[in-house]
Amino acid sequence: MTVVTRFAPSPTGYLHVGGARTALYSWLYAKSQGGEFVLRIEDTDIERSTQGAIDAILEGMEWLGLTWDDGPYYQTKRFDRYKSFVQQLLDEDKAYKCTCSRERLDALREQQMADGEKPKYDGKCRAGGANGATSDFVIRFKNPEQGSVVINDHIRGNIEINNSELDDLIIQRSDGVPTYNFCVVIDDWDMKISHVVRGEDHINNTPRQINILNALGAPVPEYAHVSMILGDDGKKLSKRHGAVSVMQYRDDGFLPQALLNYLVRLGWSHGDQEIFSIEEMIEHFSLDGIGQSASAFNTEKLIWLNQHYIKTMPVSEVAEYAKWHFEQQGIDTSNGPSLESVIAIQADRVKTLKELAEISRYFYEEYQEFDANAAKKHLRPVAQEALELIKTKLSELTFWTAETIHQAINATAEELEVGMGKVGMPLRVAATGSGNSPSLDVTLELLSFEQVAQRIDKALEFIANRANS
Ligand code: GLU
For the chain, what percent of residues have pLDDT higher than 70?
Answer: 100
Residue nearest to atom 6 of ligand 1 (CA): 8
441 lines ligand 1 (CB under 6 A): no
Q: What is the rounded distance in angstroms from the CA atom of residue 37 to the CA atom of residue 28?
A: 9
135 C-alpha vs ligand 1 centroid, how far in Å? 30
8 C-alpha vs ligand 1 centroid, how far in Å? 5
Distances (CA, A) of 362 to 370, 383, 455: 11, 21, 11
Mutate to test the pocket of ligand 1, among 49, 202, 226 (most ligand atoms within 8 A of CB): 202
Q: What is the rounded distance in angstroms from the CA atom of residue 161 to the CA atom of residue 223?
A: 15
In the sheet with 170-172, reading across from the earlier edge strand, the strands are: 95-98, 138-141, 170-172
CATH of domain 314-361: 1.10.8.70
pLDDT value at residue 466: 87
Stretch(es) of the chain classified as CATH 3.40.50.620: 1-70+227-312, 79-226
Write the burial class of residue 373 (CB in 10 Å: 0-12 exposed, 13-18 middle, 19+ buried). Answer: exposed
Per residue in 87-96, pLDDT (tens digit) is 999 999 999 9
Per residue in 16-54, pLDDT (tens digit) is 999 999 999 999 999 999 999 999 999 998 899 999 999
For the chain, what percent of residues have pLDDT higher than 90?
Answer: 95
Q: What is the rounded distance in angstroms from the CA atom of residue 27 to the CA atom of residue 19?
A: 12
| 27-63 per-residue burial string, b: 16 or more CB within 10 A, e: under 16 | bbbbbbbebbbbbbbbbbeeeebeeebbebbbebbeb
- Determine the atom of ligand 1 nearest the C-alpha atom of 42: 1
198 C-alpha vs ligand 1 centroid, how far in Å? 7
Alpha helices in 329-448 (DSSP H): 339-346, 353-359, 372-378, 384-395, 402-416, 420-432, 440-445
Per residue in 323-341, pLDDT (tens digit) is 999 999 999 999 999 999 9
For residue 58, name the pLDDT band (cuts at 50, 70, 90).
very high
CATH of domain 1-70+227-312: 3.40.50.620
Q: Which helix (H) or strand (E) holds 303?
A: helix 299-312
Per residue in 417-437, pLDDT (tens digit) is 999 999 999 999 999 999 999
Q: What is the rounded distance in angstroms from the CA atom of residue 453 to the CA atom of residue 317?
A: 33
Q: Enumerate residues 6+ apart whose C-beta is below 8 A from 442.
A: 345, 402
Virtual torsion, Cα 35, 36, 42, 43, nearest 10 deg: 180
Per residue in 189-248, pLDDT (tens digit) is 999 999 999 999 999 999 999 999 999 999 999 999 999 999 988 898 888 887 799 999
Q: What is the rounded distance in angstroms from the CA atom of residue 63 to the CA atom of residue 442?
A: 32
CATH of domain 366-469: 1.10.10.350
pLDDT value at residue 169: 97
Per residue in 11-26, pLDDT (tens digit) is 999 999 999 999 999 9
Stretch(es) of the chain classified as CATH 1.10.10.350: 366-469
The residues annotated with a catalytic role in the active site are 239
Domain 79-226 in CATH: superfamily? Answer: HUPs (3.40.50.620)
Instruction: Using the predicted structure, report yes or no on whether residue 468 has a pLDDT greater than 90.
Output: no
